[in-house]
Homo-oligomer: A and B are copies of this chain.
Amino acid sequence: MADIRTQSLKKPVDVAEYLFRRLHEAGVRSVHGVPGDYNLVALDYLPGCGLNWVGSVNELNAAYAADGYARVKKISALITTFGVGELSAINGVAGAFSEMIPVVHIVGCPSTLSQRNGMLLHHTLGNGDFNVFANMNTSISCNVAKLNHPSEIADQIDHALRECQLQSRPVYIMLPTDMVQAKVEGARLDNPIDLTEPSNEPEKEDYVVDVVLKYLRAAKRPIILADACAIRHRVLNEVHDLVEKTNLPVFVTPMGKSAVNETHPNYGGVYAGDGSHPDVKEAVSAADLIITIGALKSDFNTSGFTYRTSQLNTIDLHSDHCIVRYSVYPGVRMRGVLRKVINQVSASELAVHPSPTVSTQVNKTDDGSQTITQAWLWPRVGHFLKAKDIVVTETGTANFGIWDTKFPEGVTALSQVLWGSIGWSVGACQGAALAAKDLGDRRRTILFVGDGSFQLTAQELSTMIRQGLKPIIFVLCNEGFTIERFIHGMEATYNDIAQWDFKALVDVFGGSKTSRKFTVKTKDELNKLLTDDAFNAADCLQFVELYMPKEDAPRALVMTAEASAKTNAQRE
């Protein structure tokens, strides 16, 4: 006799299969995480659904990797075990929430029966509360789905994945052990899940487009500024087309870096208030209209809130609302507005001024010494990069230095300027490299990470080796937390770190035969390495210790650090 709970199903499939096939459909190919007894049975379903299991070395690294994967592949999945696993990952997931990265976090948890009985199980707080971790996740997830009733599960999964994509933020899915093999309607899988963005209400959209065009046509020096959410909400084609059509100068913020083709003649550089290059600062100050696309004006993205622009000269286009001067248009999404503006505008009707020229200035920053200074390094990196490279930078000198690196076309830059959790970049590099591999792209993945940050998550190098990934990793060895020194405690011992034999880690983690290691202490050594064909080919994992002075920081960092110290100390 058929099970009464499943006999009405046309094509019964197990919950785990349904979930994983939907993930595959949404674009996931590799799933990050760490096994635990509450998720083991679910893991058995991965290969059958075309998903590759990446056993990371710990859950935080796995979460960081999922973040990096999603930044390249537009979605990712993370599987952890109840309590211990998910809480180990929570900082990585919070980072994905803060930075708007679509990560599907699946937590294998005790059976619904155990939960109802309030059993005193391992990985619990011992108080019978099985919702406490889900509750923590409500504030860092755009959807929380507890898969407790088979009849609701397919809907819950589809809804969660849709929210994840649309809001570009993590979702949290609680998968109890007894639901893994419960049956849901597999016939639903015949129709792809709808992940398309809803259109704007046409009349409202037209209204906003008209207002935008009015100000744009009237402006004497209009410019475009692309920021984080242009990348996160996937309107880079629109940004590109807008620049082409209007011929206006276009700038990026630090978080918007790589949103724009930097070899384009209209590209004017990185704008971040007072931390910008003088030419850029001047050009932006002179503008009487700034169209920001996906702005996110956080402290580190603005050199400590140092924009000197007026809202009266600003049009802010956001993923779910627009603001023209002080008029707010809630619910009007930038994608539709941008597309119509592009269609209706023409360069000839606009006041177009040339952009500042962005050159990489390697010569200008060469102090004649062999010391690899921050001022010299980052422009130099610009010559090393190739089209379509994926560049990952860590909070610290790297995140500020990269402002001065001019990218070739098609580079994708990953950084965590808002959340700023150190160690993130090592996991993110693994995820990004894997995503490129899953996409079948032969793109290089290049990481710049501080020695301090690297220590937090160093063992994710092991996963890179295990997965056969071939990133180029630069560890900036400057004896500790230089960014912190510039905020407070230049000489303080708490800003020192243990001295490691960094590159020996490659061997410890099993990469001695398959990887290459380098130590670089002078400009000449670096120039030689960066122009070496074998090195550039990036056909194996390459690990570079790059020695730099302890008390040297990029100009933008010095300024931002000062501002931060002031904000921290400020009292009424």
In the assembled complex, which residues on chain B have CB atoms less than 8 Å from the CB atom of A502?
A: 508
Measured CB to CB, the nearest residue on chain B to A176 is B568
CA distance A124 to B38 in the complex (A): 31
Q: Are B122 and A494 in contact (CB under 8 A)?
A: no
Task: Name A452-484 residues within 8 Å CB distance of B.
Answer: 455-459, 462-463, 465-466, 481, 484
Residues of chain B within 8 A (CB-CB) of A129 are 139
Across the interface, which residues of B come within 8 angstroms of A362, CB to CB? none
A144–B35 Cα distance when bound, in Å, is: 32
Whether B58 lies near A455 (C-beta < 8 A) is: yes
On chain B, the residues within 8 Å of A492 by CB distance are: 40, 43-44
Does A219 belong to the interface (CB within 8 Å)? no
The stretch from A310-318, A419-427, A516-524 touching chain B is A419-427
Residues of B within 8 A of A465 (CB): 498
Expressed in whole angstroms, the minimum distance between the Cβ of A184 and any Cβ of chain B is 15
In the complex, whether A95 has a CB less than 8 A from a CB of chain B is yes
- The verdict on A552 contacting chain B, using a C-beta distance below 8 Å, is no
Pick from A37, A57, A114, A508 the residue with the most CB of B within 10 Å.
Answer: A37
In the complex, are the beta carbons of B462 and A568 less than 8 A apart? no
Q: List B contacts of A462 (CB < 8 A).
A: 455, 498, 500
CB-based contact A126/B98 at 8 Å: yes
Contact with B along A75-101 (1 / 0, CB 8 A): 000000001100110110011011000
With contacts A177-B568, A495-B35, A567-B119 taken as known, whether A419 is within 8 angstroms of B83 at the C-beta atoms is: yes
Minimal beta-carbon separation of A399 from chain B (angstroms): 10
| Residues from chain B with Cβ under 8 Å of A194 in the complex | none
- Report the separation of the CA atoms of residues A305 and B110 in the bound assembly, to the nearest whole angstrom: 15
Q: A455: which B residues are within 8 A, CB to CB? A: 57-58, 459, 462
A132 proximity list for chain B (CB < 8 A): 139-140
A4 at the interface (CB under 8 A from B): no
C-alpha gap A502/B421 in the complex (Å): 27
Cβ–Cβ contact B35 & A481, under 8 A? yes
* A278 within 8 Å of B (CB atoms): no
- Asked if B84 and A122 make an inter-chain contact with CB atoms under 8 angstroms apart, the answer reads no
Chain B residues within an 8 Å CB radius of A125: 94, 97-98, 139-140
Q: Which of A292-300, A372-380, A533-541 lies on the face that meets chain B?
A: A292-300
Which A residues are closer than 8 A to B by beta carbons?
34-38, 40-41, 43-44, 53, 55, 57-58, 60, 83-84, 87-88, 90-91, 94-95, 97-98, 110-111, 113-114, 119-126, 129, 132, 135-136, 139-140, 177-178, 296-300, 305, 417-423, 455-459, 462-463, 465-466, 481, 484, 487-489, 492-502, 504-505, 507-510, 564-565, 567-572
Task: Apart from A37-B564, A84-B422, A178-B570, list 14 A-B contacts with CB within 8 A.
Answer: A37-B487, A37-B488, A38-B568, A43-B489, A55-B496, A55-B497, A58-B60, A58-B457, A88-B421, A97-B125, A98-B125, A122-B298, A458-B459, A501-B510
